[in-house]
Amino acid sequence: MPVRPDYAALTRGQIALLERIGAGDTGLTMLGRLVRLTQDVLGGLGAGFAEYSTGHGRIIAASGGCAGALGRRVGAVDISGTHLLPLDAVDDAVAGRGDSTDVEHILGTPCEMGGVTIGALYVSYGPAPDGTAPGPEHHAVLELLAVTAAHMYGRQAGLPVHGAGPVVAALADGLAVVDRDRIVQLWNPAAERLTGHPAAEALHHELPFPAPPPGQVLVHRLPSGRRLTITAGDLPRTPALRVVTFRDSTDQDRRNEDRDLFVAVTSHELRTPVTVIKGYADTLTNHWDTLGEPGRRDAVRAIGARAGELARLVDRLLSATSDDGAGNGSPPAPFDLVEGLRTAAAELSAGLRRRLVLENLPSDLPKAFGDRDSLATILTELATNADKYSPAGTEVTVTTAADETTVTFRVADRGIGVPAEHVERAFERYWQGTAGEGAGLGLYLVRRIVERQHGWVSLRPRDGGGTVAEVRFPRA
C-alpha cells in the first residue's frame, strides 16, 4: 500500500489554511495551497482540483506532476463517492503522466456544496512498493480536504472562478427582514453567501443594498460584480417590518451586458484604423501632386498596414461571437512548432518584433498536432497582451518545451502580473486587466482557438515578477 497519510502535516496544514482564511485570504491562492497540501499529505506524485461549470470542468489548481494540466478543460464527471479513477479515462496531463512518470493510481473525490457537485479533488500515485492501491485512510483524508475546499467555496470570496453553473445553482434565495429604518433583523445563510456579508456584520445594521417599494422589482449590482434581483413586501400583521428577498441574476443580465459591450467594443476598436485609413486617403485625394512619389508611397503603405490591422480586428470580433469555438480553421495536422513560431514572429508589428526574444527553440523539437496557421493569431494576441502590461524596454521571451504527450511554447513578460484570482477571468470575453485598454478579446480567442485543437492554455506568475502564458498542443 502507498505510504500512510502524513497526519502531522495534515494537522499543521489545516491549521495554517484556516488561519489564513480567517485572516481574509481567499480564492485561487488558498485553493492552490490546499491542492499542494493534498499531494504532500497523501504522498502523491501530483494533485489537482477541477471546478465544474455548465457542461464542463477546468483544472484551476494543480501541483507536482499534475501542474502541466493547469487550465486544461475536462468533462464534468459526477463522481459518486471517493474511488480510484480508471487510468484510461483520465487525460495524461491531468493524471500527471509524462517523461519517466509511471502513474499507477488516481484517487478522486467530489467536492459538494448544498448537495450539488461543484468540482473534484484528485491525487495521482506512482507504483507502491507492495503493489497495492490507496486504502481507506487515503480516502478519508481526501474527503476531509474536499470538505475544506467546499468551505472555501461557501465563503463566496474569489470562488467559484467561473462564477456560474452548479455553484450558483446550489444557492437558495437570500432573505432579510428589516424595520422601518432599514435595519436588518434577520439574515439567512443564503444572504451571507450571496452578498459576502456574514450575519454578524449584517444584523442590526442598515441593509447593505437598496430595496424597492412593495410590489416592484429592483436589479442591483454588488461591488463583486454579482447582480441581485430584489423584491420586497410588508409582513402581514407586522407593518413595522418588511421582508426583502433577493437572488443571483448575474447570468441573465450578462447576456444583455455582453450585447452592449460588443457594440461599445466594436465601435471603439474600429474607430482608430478607420480614421487613419480615411485620413491618408483624403491626403492622397487632396494633395496628390504636392506629396511627391515618396509621400504617396508612405501614405499607401500606411493605408495597407491599417487595412491589415482592420481585417485582423474584424476576424477577432467575428470569432468572438461565433458559436463553433473559434471560427474556421484548417484541419489539425502535424506541424513544426519552432518554424511556425519564427514565421509568426516575423509577421508581428515592428514594435512587437523589437521586444520579442526567441529563446530555446531547438531544431529537433517534436512536431505538434494542430493548426499551424493559427500560430500567427495566438502569438500576436499573447505578445500584444504582454506588451500592453509590461514596462517599456523590457523583453518578452518565447521558449518551447516538450514531454511525452504535449509540445509547449511559453510567452513570458516582466509586467504587472495577473493576481491568482484573475488568471481564469482573464480568459473571459470582454474582461480587461487593470490597464483597462483594448477589447478584452485576446486571451478569450486564444483559449478558444487552442482548445479547438485539443490543446489548452494557462497563465501563471513568473518568478521575479511578470506573467507566463503557456500554450500546450498535443504531440504529433
Give residue-wise pLDDT tens across range 209-251: 999 887 778 888 898 888 888 988 776 555 677 888 888 877 6
How much is the mean pLDDT over the chain? 82
Mean pLDDT of 329-335: 83
SS3 106: strand
Q: What confidence score (pLDDT) does residue 141 get?
A: 94
- Model confidence at 112, pLDDT cuts 50, 70, 90, reads confident
Q: Which amino acid is at 338?
A: V
Q: What confidence score (pLDDT) does residue 325 get?
A: 46
Residue 267 has pLDDT above 70, yes or no: no
Q: What confidence score (pLDDT) does residue 475 get?
A: 93
Ordered structural domains, the chain, with CATH: 7-167 (3.30.450.40), 171-248 (3.30.450.20), 252-321 (1.10.287.130), 333-474 (3.30.565.10)
Residue 54 has pLDDT above 50, yes or no: yes
Tell me the pTM. Answer: 0.64
User: Distance (Å, rounded) from C-alpha 69 to C-alpha 49?
Assistant: 10
Q: What confidence score (pLDDT) does residue 166 get?
A: 52
- Model confidence at 438, pLDDT cuts 50, 70, 90, reads very low
Q: What confidence score (pLDDT) does residue 458 get?
A: 92
Mean pLDDT of 120-140: 88
User: Using alpha carbons only, what angle is made at residue 190 by residues 187 and 196, rounded to the nearest 5 degrees?
Assistant: 80
- Model confidence at 436, pLDDT cuts 50, 70, 90, reads very low
User: Distance (Å, rounded) from C-alpha 332 to C-alpha 113?
Assistant: 39
Q: Which amino acid is at 42?
A: L
Q: What confidence score (pLDDT) does residue 244 get?
A: 86
User: Distance (Å, rounded) from C-alpha 474 to C-alpha 369?
Assistant: 5
Q: What confidence score (pLDDT) does residue 145 get?
A: 94
Candidates 438, 358, 454, 341; CA nearest to 399 is 358
Q: What confidence score (pLDDT) does residue 259 get?
A: 57
Q: What confidence score (pLDDT) does residue 158 get?
A: 72
Mean pLDDT of 403-411: 94
Enumerate the β-bridge partners of residue 91: none
Q: What confidence score (pLDDT) does residue 432 get?
A: 61
User: Distance (Å, rounded) from C-alpha 296 to C-alpha 288?
Assistant: 7
For 283-310, write each residue's pLDDT tens digit.
888 889 888 888 888 888 888 877 876 7
User: Distance (Å, rounded) from C-alpha 274 to C-alpha 177?
Assistant: 55
If one compares 370 and 430, the residue with the highest pLDDT of the two is: 370
If one compares 424 and 323, the residue with the highest pLDDT of the two is: 424
Residue 342 has pLDDT above 50, yes or no: yes
Mean pLDDT of 364-386: 90
Give every CB contact of residue 268 below 8 A, 6+ residues apart in sequence. Answer: 439
For 151-210, write each residue's pLDDT tens digit.
888 765 677 786 555 554 444 578 788 888 999 987 877 788 889 999 889 989 999 999
Q: DSSP states of 134-179 as a string?
A: P-HHHHHHHHHHHHHHHHHHHTTSS--SS--THHHHTPPPEEEEEE
- For the record, the C-alpha cell of 349 comes out as 508589428
Residue 264 has pLDDT above 70, yes or no: no
- For the record, the C-alpha cell of 261 comes out as 459591450
Q: What confidence score (pLDDT) does residue 437 get?
A: 47
Cis peptide before 160 (omega within 30 of 0): yes
SS3 214: coil
N-to-C CA span, the chain: 36
- Model confidence at 331, pLDDT cuts 50, 70, 90, reads confident
- Model confidence at 312, pLDDT cuts 50, 70, 90, reads low
- Model confidence at 63, pLDDT cuts 50, 70, 90, reads very high
